Chains A and B, each alone.
Chain A
Amino acid sequence: MSHLRYASVPAGRAFAFSDAGRKRIEDLLARYPTKQAALLPVLWLAQEELGWISREAVEVVAGVLGLSPAYVDGVLTFYTMYHLKPVGKFHLQFCTSISCHLNGGEDVLEHCRRKLGVAGDETSPDGLFSIEEVECIAGCDRAPSMQVNDQYREPMTPEKLDAMLAELSRGGDRGV
């Protein structure tokens, strides 16, 4: 969780779930005794469709589940995996928790930042890569561990990272 996330921000354009998304929401609602319980999965669905969660998306989600947008903001900002702004095509998540720390996790992260010319948890100027330092992702036996979008890439080394970035820049597969 993070102390530094407070609210969603407007995208400046309306959000609406796709037809398939609305059907999935119906299925999700059948899984729980309350509508509110579907909040995390419905936020996941919004992020899947939009790529991040805008203020407009929060309002739609709130409407669907009978909650206030302020309440949805409160839950949304507690969880670090919901994006409060757009992210690059490739979301690079570097673990620097203890086992990865002992095996050079920070070195890989810094190498990546230098390579992409960014300072902290930022998106590369070409908009392709977003870097995020994350806490333990249960890849400790293959440290340093990381994920590209929803796929593990472990163990990572500076050399392997160079090759991976080059391949992804050339339009390689998602998560390669």
Chain B
Amino acid sequence: MAFEKVLLARVGREGSRGIEGYIADGGYEAWKKILREKPEPASISESVKKSGLRGRGGAGFPTGVKWTFIPKDTKGRPIYLVVNADESEPGTFKDRLLIEADPHQILEGMACAAYAIGCRTAYIYIRGEFWEGARILEAAIAQAYGKGLLGADLQGSGVGLDIYVHRGAGAYICGEETALLESLEGKRGQPRVKPPFPAVSGAFACPTIVNNVETIACVPHILNRGAEWFASIGRNEKNTGPKLYCLSGHVERPGVYEAPMGLPLKELIFGDDYGRGMRGGRKIKAVIPGGASAPMLTPAEIEDCPLDFDGVAAKGSMLGSAAIVVMNEDTCMVRAARNLAKFFAHESCGQCTPCREGCPWLLKVLTRLEEGEGRAEDVDLLVSMARQMNNGMTLCVFADAAVGHVLSGIPKFRDEFLHHAEHKRCLVETPPAFAAGAASAREA
């Protein structure tokens, strides 16, 4: 049975961004029904709970459950909804597509979620680099106000909602929800001590729900087609719904692919509907299944790996933002590790010492190994350093993410690291990226 796209159903259609097209395709029906019938807000959360929807930003927490953490008595404080559009995890580009191709799907999801949690003011925190995405969302919001779908006392219901776009300005850490809230409040984006969690004290010390773009985009579909329908898609009852996979690296056809949660990793890489195999017929050496933060997998480990929260966790890694980065046999793993360390050294927020000092230190040691100035002891030194940075040494999980590739890559590709230390060069020969033909393959 062919899977029918849900979140990406409208991508590629002419005028997919505009409100007229969205409404013509049945859009805003879930929101209009809410405004017409004013159901018990808890019934919306209940549907989302029953659907099994888990957060698509990386943590995989059940969305409907998260919504119910808003206190019954907020002591007069407003409730906020903040959509996390800070998509910055290396290898991830699904939210960019949802924003650029179908912004009203996100706005309708926000409206339904806002109703469920009792929110009248919602923000979209979008990374600064998404200039076009911010413009598209602003235009879509203006259209929704124009149609009486946003604003005060909508369609005589007494229900109101304002949505604002808030642009970040270059900081990966603002994807961490409490850093995001700090940034929204006009501060340095440094994660908070938890608890309290945002549902109790979030934006402006008020109860706040932070949801990822893809998570929010699922909501109107759940309300329109039913929690049972959503739960029927996917590998099992803990891993439900349609899922967007970001495939990149050395594959023939990189891109965003929508499939039922639990798509086998090998099918994503090799399937005709997906990646269509490795570019140039090269063999796989390593796969990062969930963005730069996720531990690496070997070819043996990807043989039977369902791409869902529990399937990837069972392999000792994580689904994260479902960013699958594939490396071929010509990849130098020391060079790749140095590249990942460069990212984390650049992005550590500087708040906790193990992370602020550890990330640049990992980069320093990997750089000297890569440049042929390392020692054999450096390989174990890297592991030792990494073990002093993770498992609760810091306020957020950034440091755990930063050492994921070290603690997985070194044991799995130890010979390559030792070779670099002993022979001052790579174990493999990496062909130039822009040899004749290589560039055109990517552009196709």
Interface string of B318-343 (1 = CB under 8 A from A): 00000101010001000010011011
A79, A102, A134, most chain B CB atoms within 10 A? A102
Q: Which of A12-20, A114-122, A138-146, A165-173 contacts B (4 or more CB under 8 A)?
A: A138-146
Q: How far is the CB of A81 from chain B (nearest CB, A)?
A: 4
Residue of B nearest to A75 (CB): B188
A158 at interface by CB-CB < 8 Å: yes
Q: How far is the CB of B215 from chain A (nearest CB, A)?
A: 17
Interface string of A79-111 (1 = CB under 8 A from B): 111100000000001001111011110010000
Q: A98-B339, A99-B248, A135-B343 are in contact. Are A1 and B349 (CB under 8 A)?
A: yes
- Chain A residues in 8 Å Cβ range of B130: 138
Q: How far is the CA of A153 from the CA of B256 in the complex (A)?
A: 18
Contacting A at CB under 8 A, from B145-178, are: 162, 164, 166-173
- Chain B residues in 8 Å Cβ range of A65: 186
- Give the size category of B's interface with A: 35 or more
- Chain B residues in 8 Å Cβ range of A2: 346
B84 at interface by CB-CB < 8 Å: no
Q: A1-B350, A147-B129 are in contact. Are A140 and B248 (CB under 8 A)?
A: yes
Q: A96-B339, A102-B250, A141-B247 are in contact. Are A31 and B164 (CB under 8 A)?
A: yes
Which residue of A34, A40, A101, A143 contacts B166 across the interface (Cβ within 8 Å)? A40
- Give the size category of A's interface with B: 35 or more
Which residue of B87, B168, B356, B432 contacts A79 across the interface (Cβ within 8 Å)? B168
Q: How far is the CA of A142 from the CA of B442 in the complex (A)?
A: 7
Q: How far is the CB of A102 from chain B (nearest CB, A)?
A: 5
Q: How far is the CA of A87 from the CA of B360 in the complex (A)?
A: 27
A157 touches B434 (CB 8 A): yes
Q: A75-B187, A96-B339, A141-B247 are in contact. Are A43 and B169 (CB under 8 A)?
A: yes
Q: How far is the CA of A101 from the CA of B337 in the complex (A)?
A: 11
B128 touches A79 (CB 8 A): yes
Name A residues whose Cβ lies closer than 8 Å to a Cβ of B.
1-3, 31-34, 36-41, 43-44, 65, 74-75, 78-82, 93, 96-99, 101-104, 107, 134-143, 147, 150-152, 155, 157-159
Given A97-B339, A102-B327, A158-B434, 5 further pairs, Cβ under 8 A: A1-B350, A37-B184, A101-B336, A141-B255, A155-B439
Name B residues whose Cβ lies closer than 8 Å to a Cβ of A.
78, 87-93, 95-96, 127-132, 162, 164, 166-173, 183-189, 204, 246-250, 254-256, 288, 292, 323, 325, 327, 331, 336, 339-340, 342-343, 346-350, 356, 360, 432-434, 438-439, 442-443
